[in-house]
Structure 1
Amino acid sequence: MRRPRITARGAPGVTRAPLTAALLTTGLGLVSVAPAEAAGATLTVNVAQPFRPVTHVATGGLYGLAENGKPADSTLLPLKVNSLTQPAPGVGQRPNGQPPGGDSLLVSPQATRVGAGEYIRMPDIYPNFPYKWVSWNDWLAKVDTMVRARLNTTSATNIVGWELWNEPDWTWNTSAAGAFSDGWTRTFRAVRALDAATPIVGPSISYYNRSWMSSFLTAAKAANTLPDIICWHELGSPNNIAADIADYRALESSLGISPRRISINEYAATSEVDVPGRIASYVAKFERGGVETAHRAFWYEYGTMNGLVVNNNQPTASWWLYKWYGDMAGRMVTTTPPNQTGLDGFASYDSTRKIVNVVLGNDSGTNTVRLTGIGGLGPSVQVTLQSTPSNGRFTAVTAPTTISTSTYTVSNGEISVSVPNMSATSAYNLVVQPASGVPSYQQRYEAEGASVFRAQRLTSSSASEGGYVGRIDNNTGTHSTDSYVDFVVNVPTARAYTMTIGYANATGATSTQGLAANGGAWTTVSYPPTSAWGQFGATVSKSINLQAGYNVIRLAKGSPGFSGGTGYAELDYIQLT
């Protein structure tokens, strides 16, 4: 059945999943309201059940950056921006009637400074939406120009994907261009003829549609043009996410396709994107679903990170939700909501500092967070509860509201925390730590939680927090293939720090990587040989000068300005003391 659909630019289109009870139509448009929920709902957080590293998968945005450093780095670094979808080089797209902006190659230096990867949305070379097809000669010439521009821009080290088209389920002109499956194949091959390494992203349909996806995957598999990263949009309700992901995985398996990485490259409707409580539900479901990246939909002007800042880089209420998310470290731990439609949240545990962070929302009244598996925090814990309201995108919120700070006795490894008088539109943050106190600042940063470029996150029982980064192999002197890891760190004062690096090197000889902070001068790190790959315990130390506040530290096998590392080394963590 076909229904009016919400799109990321407000354009008329075709089907989205039916609007749920969580979205009611008014004379002013769509307004988010709380779903029906029994009083006293409980969100269970099992701290003893980690399931993935903290990588801030949902801190991303469609057209999040504008040229000329907007928004400011200082507003982005605390959020640990994972990735962005930006318009094609030479952008012609005029979203929401604005002039063209956000050119992926022009914003790349800023995205790199804050540790964010970029997908390039290729059809945004066209000015109109829905895109107006010209001809195959025109399109393939544009593809050639875009790919060559990226390959020739040596400062653009952070490009992690080519998105070949956007919302083809209703923007592709079949009568003029032929079937999309054939168009996908021609475009895929045109990109691969010039760039054999950068992942290809698609099909970027406007909502998850099993039948459409099945036809696309079947054709792409037959043509040997399967995307490296599968993507679609979730615009209108987080309630569909778990079922959509599960259905996609089943479809993938039934077609004999190896598991693809998943990107939800636009999420949240206009009525939801500035509602922190609603966004908490989206993020929770993306984390549990194993999504690799998720990007806030673009409803507004460029340069605000999709409405997270206003009035010359002042934070909105939603910024604080993403700041809480950015503060998470270690591993994401299992959260179990009462159902898919109401109270929900996501949580992390940093075992090196013994801090649990929980962000929740999407329900009203007095609800409960039950934390289990926290015996390692000691016999009593301090619990701080904060909130951030739903004040919209034009209201600055200088700080979250602290509701309470309390001490709880841990019984059988658990506590239950009451969250009184919740608003369904607000988000809430619980910080749980030993009553005896924690280190004054984060010192250990896991490699698998850093920004990883052309390398791979892996697991090992001997690694800190169970994960590490390996296959940091590329040193080609080419910005589009070199391998490196960027750590976004936050330190209290400007001075020299001792940086300890946990590593493995089973080459049998000393290996080297480059080390640089904030794009500065390179030094060399030497890694003596260790007994085996994936077996950790060895460390090396270097002195590094850092500025007060946020810094980006790069360890590289290959990177622009660096002559290249020798041998190979796997990274477990860095620790600053």
Structure 2
Amino acid sequence: MATVAAAAVAATAVTGLSGTPASAAETEVLAVDFAQRTGEFRGGASGTLYGFGDEGAPTQAVINGAHITNSSQKAPYGTQHPSGDAIKIEDGFFDKHGQDLYIYVQDYYPEWPYNGGRRPGDDRTYDQATGTYTEEPNGVWDFLEVTEFVAEAVATDSDRPQDYVFIPYNEPDGGNWYPDWANQKDQFLADWQATYEKIQEVWDRHGLGHARIGGPGDTRWQPQRSEDLLRFAKEHGSLPDIFIWHELGIDNLATYRQNFADYRALEQELGLDPIPVNITEYGMLRDMGVPGQLVQWFAMFEDTKVDAQVAYWNYAGNLSDNSARPNGANAGWWMFKWYGDLEGSETVAVTPPELNAVDTLQGIGAIDEANKRATVLFGGTGNDVTLDLSGLDRSIFGSAVDIEVRETTLNGAEGLTDTPRVVKALDGVELGDGTLSLDVPVYDRYAGYQVVITPDGARDVEAGAAAQPWTASVEAERMDLTDATVYTQDPQANGGWKFLASGGRDVGSFNKATSRADWTVEVPADGTYRLQVVGGAPGIPGRHALFVDDTASGTIQYAADLALNANSRWQYRGSAEVLVDLTAGEHLLSIRSSEDGATVLPNSDITLDKVSLTSVTDESTVYPATTFRLEDGATLNWANGSDRGSAKLQGEGRADLYANAMETGYYDLAVDWSSTKTSSVELVVNGEPTTELTSTRKGKWRSSATVHLVEGINEIELRSPDGATVQSLTTVRNRGADAAAVSIEAEDAVLLGSAAVTDLAESTGSNATGMAYVGWVGNGADNAVELPRDGFAAPGDYDVTVYYANAELSGDHDYNPQVVDRLLQATEDGTEVGHAYFRYTYSWDSFSQRSFPVALATADQPLRLGNPDAWAPNLDRIVISPRVIGDPTTARR
């Protein structure tokens, strides 16, 4: 067995990403046998419960990149939540990877538990055309009328009714109508039959064939209840099409596999063919956004080839706390993305140190023979890991392989997380007998890792990894602290009802004028660096002062984070970023609660979790073809030659990649590609045709175009109808090009109707520029903001970036904020040219950004922003940016 333990990436500082929090006490072994196949990759664990709010919340790039295959949403016209109506979000869900859209029929009711926790009687008469009712009986069970109305809405209003699954009952064994099985079994079974038949009746009425129905939907694996339902349903022709229960607690990481085995054994005992399973809620607060936790759940569900949906603990529209900001990734999102990248593969046998054990090293292995790409995902341990790899067939991979290891570390639920870095790269490792031993240093037990193994390609992976921008990080508890307290965040405390901290600890009680956290760091060169602070601002925006070498060097401005209750207050962490110029050498970076040492800054009592510093002087990120998602016939090319490892595009073939931007602005998109004749590569960015890179003859090319990208995840699609091979796409930040954008303070725009300026006091700690915003926009066509065409007079394609606040809630819930996504519509000369929904920002004083495309047809008609039907978000600043600057360039390479 070859041992490949060298080549940790030099671009990562010693104080940086690999193994920082603590020296590993030991090394754990994860064995992966690529010769032992365990079935086609299912990919079903990437489901969500209420992960979607309204259209664009989350954004399409975030949805597609996370590869969401199934989701449970609110019933059409339901009142349980203000957003998340299944029919309203179906276009975004089915855009690329969505397969099954589930609806909770009981979400018609506004209360939790449903209908006050009581099974309805016959107290109402429903109008099936509108879903409204009068308070009088009509001889029909009320919920049966609701079921008919919901099924009819899907049958008539959805474009894809056949892709829906109805869940008539959610957690019936809990507080929802049927908890007393001994006395309520017969009632539940009769009700199951009635609702099952009613849904089928509606489907028959519309000629839709068989409607898929899921259940029972119990809060946990319930052997007796499950057996009773299956026996009854088999006898009465009402077997569920999807068998459903929940796996929520910490210990479920140890018990799920046995529960699943018991379920399959029950099917055999009853003479039933296997029924597909969906675990429609899994995981606790502590698991959300945490790659090292999520991979443990993914591994179990992928092993058993079931679908599963992360639980809904906070609010709709953020993939159950697995995305950041309106359009960004947190670390958990990247684990979703990596998991989705396995589509088209076969899974292989993985042997962890211990199976069915809580909070331990677990992993997924997969091989894509068509593209000669093997992948391992792992996490869950704080110890370094040795991957014991076997079964790497030389007939697939050749005599030598390239290996890249990427790492994503916990950055808080709202912490913007950049494209995972390569932390180990090995070029041309001799394969020998198909076995390798690979040592990977681990950051901490909450980090997640992706290992990609391919044949030895033309790209030098070691050189590419070494060329990454320099970065370093430090856990807040390891900084030199004054008047602040280190708190341990036990991952198993409070039954998992908590959010985790990187390294297991954070720093709080940062509430004195003398509170400070100091970090001595050595930077390699003169230049500009991005300081990122991960911390929790509880429900209000706040500020810290940044000092460099004891000289005041700016303000660290935090947006508000969720502070719904003790489970989220100070623990639901986001990130703040600030640019700082440094000279080569050692510097003392100091984060302080006060600028003068005597007066605390507004809302400075913010928890600190982790601080990082990254060079942005030449900020670039390489996305190699070996990490592309290849669709519609596109493949990796492993023929001998200088294009080995490139993506071969032809006809409808498409490559998808998901590029992160830490800042909204302009980036040079540099594509290395080859053609055998006159050809082109077409780029579609965030769903909008953007530019075409062309060659006039055979050759190897580097083409570049200056394109506007938005903060967070940007979906980039590559096509070449005439044929090309693409080696990589590189994003290079071009701050100089930002001058092409026009920034307009909302208070300086033309205000119409009720739209009015509000000034903010410094004591709010707000991140509004100029400490003012425009509110009372919308709720009528005349209440709007107009932007004269100064600086963007040319017709064409633009991105509109809106800095906004929206803290509207509607309705009550025991533990979920009932958030309202506010719509903003852009019109030109009375015609809509674009719109977007704007998600929750936690506070009316806290402003986030959201971008959407517009196509302007005139040179002089103002751009009007408003909402004729409801209130729009409050507006701080609007930036209008041409989507592309100049013409693309192509040169030989």
TM-score where L is the length of structure 2: 0.45
Relative distance call for 1:488 and 1:280 in structure 2 (3 A) is farther
1:274-423 superposed matches below 5 A: 274-291=289-306, 293-328=307-342, 329-340=344-355, 341=357, 342-376=360-394, 377-407=397-427, 408-423=429-444
SS in structure 1 at match of 2:37: strand
Structure in which a larger fraction of residues adopt strand = 2
Residue in structure 2 matched with residue 549 of structure 1 by the alignment? 716
Distance 2:272 2:444 in 1: 43
Residue in structure 2 matched with residue 428 of structure 1 by the alignment? 449
Contact 2:388 2:437 in 1 (8 A): yes
Report the Cα offset of residue 240 of structure 1: 1.7
Instruction: Choose which of 50, 55, 65 in structure 2 pairs with 1:78.
Output: 65
Relative distance call for 1:432 and 1:168 in structure 2 (3 A) is same
Relative distance call for 1:68 and 1:154 in structure 2 (3 A) is closer
Contact 1:355 1:433 in 2 (8 A): yes
Instruction: Choose which of 236, 244, 249 in structure 1 pairs with 2:264.
Output: 249
1:84-163 superposed matches below 5 A: 84-94=71-81, 100-116=82-98, 117-132=100-115, 133-136=119-122, 137-157=141-161, 159-163=163-167
Report the Cα offset of residue 143 of structure 1: 0.8
Contact 2:32 2:365 in 1 (8 A): yes
Which residue identity lines up with residue 151 of structure 2 in the other structure? V
Which residue identity lines up with residue 67 of structure 1 in the other structure? D
Distance 1:231 1:197 in 2: 19
**1:216 counterpart = 2:229:** yes
Deviations 1:446-505 (A, max 9, x none): 89xxxxxxxxxxxxxxxxxxxxxxxxxxxxxxxxxxxxxx9985287999899xxxxxxx
**1:440 counterpart = 2:625:** yes
Contact 1:115 1:488 in 2 (8 A): no
Distance 2:106 2:46 in 1: 24
Relative distance call for 1:289 and 1:277 in structure 2 (3 A) is same
Distance 1:488 1:57 in 2: 23
Query: Which one scores higher on RCO, CA 8 angstroms, separation ≥ 6?
Result: 1
Report the Cα offset of residue 437 of structure 1: 4.5
Distance 1:444 1:424 in 2: 31
Most deviating of 47-56 and 296-305? 47-56
Relative distance call for 1:399 and 1:551 in structure 2 (3 A) is closer
Residue in structure 2 matched with residue 204 of structure 1 by the alignment? 217
Report the Cα offset of residue 145 of structure 1: 0.7
Contact 1:123 1:166 in 2 (8 A): yes
Report the Cα offset of residue 161 of structure 1: 0.9
Residue in structure 1 matched with residue 35 of structure 2 by the alignment? 48
Deviations 1:265-324 (A, max 9, x none): 111111222221111011011111121x21111112211111122222111111111111
Which residue identity lines up with residue 363 of structure 1 in the other structure? T
Question: How large is the Cα RMSD of the aligned pairs?
Answer: 3.1
Which residue identity lines up with residue 81 of structure 1 in the other structure? I
Report the Cα offset of residue 262 of structure 1: 0.8
SS in structure 2 at match of 1:334: strand
Contact 1:409 1:415 in 2 (8 A): no
Contact 2:65 2:715 in 1 (8 A): no
Distance 1:107 1:353 in 2: 33
Q: Percent identity?
A: 26
Relative distance call for 1:215 and 1:159 in structure 2 (3 A) is same
Contact 2:147 2:168 in 1 (8 A): no
Report the Cα offset of residue 422 of structure 1: 4.5
What count of residue pairs does the alignment treat as equivalent?
A: 427
Contact 2:154 2:161 in 1 (8 A): no
Deviations 1:205-251 (A, max 9, x none): 11112222112222222222110110111112322221111111001
Residue in structure 2 matched with residue 191 of structure 1 by the alignment? 199
Report the Cα offset of residue 362 of structure 1: 1.1
Distance 1:390 1:548 in 2: 23
Distance 1:323 1:157 in 2: 27
Residue in structure 2 matched with residue 232 of structure 1 by the alignment? 245
Distance 2:59 2:630 in 1: 26
Contact 1:343 1:361 in 2 (8 A): yes
Deviations 1:313-369 (A, max 9, x none): 111111111111122242222212222222111122111221111110111212211
Contact 1:268 1:297 in 2 (8 A): yes
Distance 2:672 2:373 in 1: 22
Relative distance call for 1:550 and 1:347 in structure 2 (3 A) is farther
Distance 2:457 2:298 in 1: 31
Relative distance call for 1:395 and 1:519 in structure 2 (3 A) is closer
1:484-499 superposed matches below 5 A: 490=656
Report the Cα offset of residue 139 of structure 1: 0.7
Contact 2:35 2:393 in 1 (8 A): no
SS in structure 1 at match of 2:68: coil
Relative distance call for 1:290 and 1:56 in structure 2 (3 A) is closer
Which residue identity lines up with residue 322 of structure 1 in the other structure? F
Return 5+ residue gaps in structure 2 as ranges.
1-23, 123-140, 204-208, 460-623, 634-651, 658-670, 674-678, 690-713, 720-893
Contact 2:289 2:333 in 1 (8 A): no
Relative distance call for 1:551 and 1:143 in structure 2 (3 A) is farther
Contact 1:91 1:101 in 2 (8 A): no
Distance 1:160 1:551 in 2: 31
Distance 2:448 2:223 in 1: 32
Distance 2:654 2:267 in 1: 35
Most deviating of 214-223 and 185-194? 214-223
Report the Cα offset of residue 423 of structure 1: 1.6
